[in-house]
């Protein structure tokens, strides 16, 4: 037994196995999960539903270690961004976006990203490593703490999107376990519909996801033909559009979901013509789709520009007239670089090539 077991790295099943392995009853797992995720307690001595002996034992053999908060920024629109420090000077970012009827936490899954989409600041900085389960679920714990949830118990965070730094499906097992904790009754207890995984389109992993998890799926499309998508989202060279759309259809069938959300970043003069909107309508044929148009958020060094409001509206109207539910995402937290695609943190000792080998095909 590892003396240093970080309990944040265990979902309910693993925690039950952990307690069984240390000679304790499996129901201790639910108690400890509640202390950590519902009461915000990270000190074993405060877990008063456990016997004193068990509290002391846990202090000896386990720990609850969170990422370190390096800084917190608050935008003029109320969006908050945390910079969280990990090992070896790496850092990641997490963003909370308050809206009238909901509060969304945008969670990172990797230190950087190896997929190198040309319009994404995270992609431009390369990749270091996958986040552990504890580093993923720890972002939710830290945001809850900062937003006062553990004091007033009002659920300020109602939705979670795996849309921060990284490609969640390239960190499959840890992301699945962390999302289980997000939806687990004894942990955070969110509805599966309110937890969204966004992927750039890794076909085999989408199939695996359909068999493993029932959270909501968002797919980053951004182009309607392979020639352009190969440039914008280079992983398209391994998993071209036709294969991706088939995987989406299989996902809908296997999971019997109502919709898949498709994200489409609006890049001036690149992918925002009316002809492309019509192509997008065709591509959505046979899929219960919702489309999110994302105004491009610039970052230092990029040549792309955001489409004009009139181009975005024209594009949206074509989709809406074809009967597709389409939402233009509001840009939030721009003044603190917290908008989609602007998250960077710090990626030390890039390991890009290694992760490319992992993707394979
Ligand atoms: N890697 C995953 C999830 C993280 S990115 C994915 O690609 O889906 C979350 C969303 O932000 C994706 O749809 C991504 O394409 C989009 N995005 C990336 N850079 C952006 C930018 N500069 N402006 C607007 N959206 C961006
Ligand atoms: Fe990675 Fe997503 Fe950014 Fe592409 S858009 S580089 S997959 S984080």
Which atom number of ligand 1 is nearest to the Cα of residue 299? 22
The predicted structure's pLDDT at residue 3 = 60
DSSP 38: I
Ligand lying nearest the CA atom of residue 120: 1
- Report which of 203, 293, 290, 210 is spatially closest to residue 242, judged by C-alpha positions: 203
Q: Which residues of the chain have pLDDT under 70?
A: 1-3, 349, 352-361
CA of 16 to the centre of ligand 2 (A): 35
- Among 119, 131, 166, name the best residue to mutate to test ligand 2's pocket (greatest count of ligand atoms within 8 A of Cβ): 166
Q: Is 248 a catalytic residue?
A: no
User: Cα(39) to centroid of ligand 1, in Å?
Assistant: 33
Nearest CA to ligand 1 atom 7: 200
Evaluate: CB of 121 within 6 angstroms of ligand 2. Answer: no
State how far Cα 2 lies from the chain centre. Answer: 29
pLDDT value of position 355: 52
What's the token pair of residue 332?
């939030």
User: According to the CATH classification, is domain 5-63 in 1.20.1250.20?
Assistant: no
**Which token pair is 194?**
């309110």
CATH superfamily of 68-359: Aldolase class I (3.20.20.70)
CA of 341 to the centre of ligand 1 (A): 5
Is the CB of residue 168 below 6 angstroms from any atom belonging to ligand 2?
no
Q: Is the CB of 265 under 6 A from ligand 1?
A: yes
Angle between helices 274-283 and 309-321 (to 10 degrees): 40
Of these residues, 106, 120, 248, 340, which one is catalytic? 340
What is the pLDDT, as a whole number, of residue 359?
Answer: 54
Give pLDDT, residue 210. 94
What pLDDT, on a 0 to 100 scale, did the predictor assign at position 339?
79
Q: What is the pLDDT of residue 357?
A: 47
What integer pLDDT is reported at residue 360 of this predicted model? 44
Q: Cβ contacts of residue 295 below 8 Å, gap of 6+? A: 265, 266, 306, 307, 312, 328, 329, 331
263 contacts 244 by C-beta, under 8 angstroms: no
For the chain, what are the domain ranges?
5-63, 68-359
pLDDT computed for residue 54 by the predictor: 96
Output the pTM of the full model: 0.95
CA dihedral of 64, 67, 73, 79, whole degrees rounded to 10: -70
Res 88: pLDDT:
87
Category of 116 on φ-ψ map: left (φ > 0), alpha (ψ -120 to 50) or beta:
left
Q: Does residue 200 line the site of ligand 2, with CB under 6 A?
A: yes
- Neighbouring C-beta atoms of residue 211, cutoff 10 Å: 9
Catalytic one of 16, 93, 135, 167: 93
- Select from 109, 112, 113 the residue to mutate for testing ligand 2; criterion: most ligand atoms less than 8 Å from CB: 113
H-type helices in 188-323, by residue range? 203-212, 226-232, 241-255, 274-283, 309-321
| pLDDT for 247 | 97
Residues 198-242 have pLDDT tens digits of 999 999 999 999 999 889 999 999 999 999 999 999 999 999 999
| Residue 69 DSSP symbol | E
Atom of ligand 1 nearest to the CA of 263: 13
SS3 348: coil
pLDDT of residue 295: 96
Position 59 scores a pLDDT of 95
Q: From 121, 294, 355, give the residue whose CB has the most ligand 1 atoms within 8 Å, as the site to mutate.
A: 294
- Residue 93 among the catalytic residues: yes
């Amino acid at each position: 037994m590892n003396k240093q077991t970080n309990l944040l790295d265990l979902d309910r099943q693993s925690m039950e196995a952990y307690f069984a392995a240390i000679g304790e009853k499996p129901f201790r797992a639910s108690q400890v999960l509640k202390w950590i995720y519902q009461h915000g307690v990270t000190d074993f001595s405060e877990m008063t539903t456990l016997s004193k002996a068990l509290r002391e034992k846990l202090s000896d053999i386990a720990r609850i270690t969170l990422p370190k908060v390096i800084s917190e920024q608050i935008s003029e629109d109320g969006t908050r961004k945390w910079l969280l420090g990990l090992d070896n000077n790496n850092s990641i970012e997490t963003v909370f976006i308050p809206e009238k009827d909901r509060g969304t936490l945008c969670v990172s899954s990797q230190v950087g990203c190896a997929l190198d989409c040309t319009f994404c600041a995270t992609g431009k900085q390369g990749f270091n490593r996958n986040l552990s389960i504890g580093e993923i679920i720890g972002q939710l714990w830290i945001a809850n703490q900062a937003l006062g949830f553990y004091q007033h118990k009002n659920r300020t965070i109602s939705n979670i999107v795996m849309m921060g730094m990284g490609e969640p499906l390239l960190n499959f097992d840890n992301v699945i376990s962390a999302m289980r904790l997000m939806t687990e009754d004894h942990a955070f207890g969110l509805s599966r519909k309110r937890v969204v995984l966004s992927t750039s389109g890794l076909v085999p992993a989408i199939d695996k996801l359909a068999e493993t998890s029932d959270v909501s799926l968002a797919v980053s499309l951004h182009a309607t033909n392979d020639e352009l998508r190969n440039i914008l989202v280079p992983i398209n060279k391994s998993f071209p559009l036709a294969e991706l759309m088939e995987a989406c259809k299989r996902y809908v069938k296997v999971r019997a979901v109502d919709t898949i959300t498709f994200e489409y970043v609006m890049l001036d003069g690149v992918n925002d013509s009316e002809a492309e909107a019509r192509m997008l309508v065709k591509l959505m044929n046979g899929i219960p789709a919702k489309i999110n148009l994302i105004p491009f958020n610039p970052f230092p060094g990029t040549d792309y520009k955001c489409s004009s409001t009139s181009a975005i509206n024209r594009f949206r109207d074509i989709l809406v007239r074809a009967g597709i539910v389409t939402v233009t995402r509001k840009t939030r937290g721009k003044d603190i670089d917290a908008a989609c695609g602007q998250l960077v943190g710090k990626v030390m000792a890039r390991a890009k090539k290694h992760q490319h080998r992992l993707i394979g095909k």
